[in-house]
Amino acid sequence: MAEKLIYVLNGPNLNRLGKREPEVYGSQTLADIGAMLAARGADLSCTISMHQSNHEGDLVDWLHEAEDRGAHAVLLNAGALTHTSIALLDAIRSIKVPVIEVHLSNPHTRESFRHVSWVGQAAKGTIAGFGARSYLLALEAAAAL
């Protein structure tokens, strides 16, 4: 069976995982999550291409790149850009690759400004509230598409 390419895109401040508000986001680092995804990806015949940026345009470029490289799916944790970025909404709508929105915490149990997701309006689905396991659940969903 051919390997499925899965892009995992992480937005602003996710490079601070493990240090930033561990009571909200957990103690695992983004590198820890990447290692978990690589291990599970191998079981699912998936190759993980993981990226993080604090800059919106990088995320837009990587969404386009995912389609250009024939990715099977994209897991996107856009961080705070989830709630503000029309550019990400448009980028997701501009590609045919399914995007799964991922959140460590559950935005609907937090501040009201986090209840609106521009990313979610174009995503195939959303997995939120399970800490680092949200990424693994999203990977399993992506592999099954």
Among residues 7, 72, 103, 135, the one annotated as catalytic is 103
Radius of gyration, alpha carbons of the chain: 14
Distance, in Å, from the CA atom of 80 to the CA atom of 64, rounded to the nearest integer, reads 20
Among residues 7, 25, 72, 135, the one annotated as catalytic is 25
Phi-psi region of 86 (alpha: psi -120 to 50; beta: other; left: phi over 0): alpha
Residue 25 appears among annotated catalytic residues: yes
Distance, in Å, from the CA atom of 77 to the CA atom of 20, rounded to the nearest integer, reads 16
Residue 7 appears among annotated catalytic residues: no
Catalytic residue positions?
25, 103
